[in-house]
Amino acid sequence: MRIQESELILTPEGKIYHLNLSPSQLAPIIITVGDPDRVDMVSKYFDTIETTAQHREFKTHTGTYKGKRISVISTGIGPDNIDIVFNELDALVNIDFEKRQVKKKLTSLDIIRIGTSGGLTPDVKVDSFLISAMGIGLDNVMHYYDKTDKIFNRDFAQAFINHMQWNPDNSVPYAVDADKNLFKKFSSEKTNSGITITNVGFYGPQGRVLRAKLRDANLNDKLTSFRYKKKKITNLEMETATMYGMAKLLGHRALSMNAIIANRASGTFSKNASKTIDALIHYTLKKIAQ
């Protein structure tokens, strides 16, 4: 079936609209970062850079690192941007742009997030590395898609909803596991693992109060006291669960690597966040090269 121009939007040069990339410019291994400036922090370690592209907050460098072809792409902030990026990454490898048809043979990508996050409990130390074994999404992106029963951990999500006394006016939380093979490959004695909350905002949704009061003043206390089969929530950010959901839905592999630069329990923030992020970049590239 031919995909209409209004659904698969291409530039006059034949590139996917938001990412501004052609299929040949995308590598099979992808690093995602939120901040466009962090693309350069990653690609400065590449041995070669063959492609640079940018449209709005979506910036891409494709090159090689120790023989591995890698694309590093900035997503901006939030689950809504993940919906754009993952659909367009999938289109680049699994849709024939000339015929506007899904290819008969599908390609799976490895997509690794290098992001920042805030710890929720005192044992999640500032400047440490945490790999998300599971993401709990508080957004509604995944609820627009069909066949999510195959990828959601319904029991875990329901236990979370019950514990939080979840406001029915909010989106229904969902839970998705990381890709097991990527999780195993990137784990080591230098990393912790945890369960990551993916929020839809930075202030109210993450329990921050400046001037606007919260509807649930005990939001973060409930998050830190949640337990399910001896598992607890470790950190907060804004992309992981949607990444895991979209990747599994489209047949790709995803993993979220978190640089813990704040701890909400202790009220502390990293004294050198850039150094911590750079160290996580080094660690991730080393694991990719292996």
Instruction: Give the pLDDT confidence of 36-53 residue by residue, as tens digits.
Output: 999 999 999 999 999 999
For residues 196 and 241, the answer to whether their CB atoms sit within 8 Å is yes
Residues 188, 190, 196, 201, CA torsion sign: negative
Residues composing the chain: 290
Q: How much of the chain, in percent, has pLDDT values that exceed 70?
A: 100
Could you report the per-residue pLDDT of 68-89, keeping only the tens digit for each? Answer: 999 999 999 999 999 999 999 9
CA 71 to chain CA mean position, Å: 15
Give the per-residue pLDDT at 289: 97
Task: Quote the radius of gyration of the chain (alpha carbons, Å).
Answer: 19
List the one residue out of 3, 28, 26 whose CA is nearest residue 111: 28
All structural domains of the chain, each given as residue ranges with its CATH number in brackets, are 23-289 (3.40.50.1580)
Confidence of residue 261 (pLDDT cuts 50, 70, 90): very high
Alpha-carbon distances of 136 from 111, 167, 245, 271, rounded to whole Å: 18, 16, 10, 28
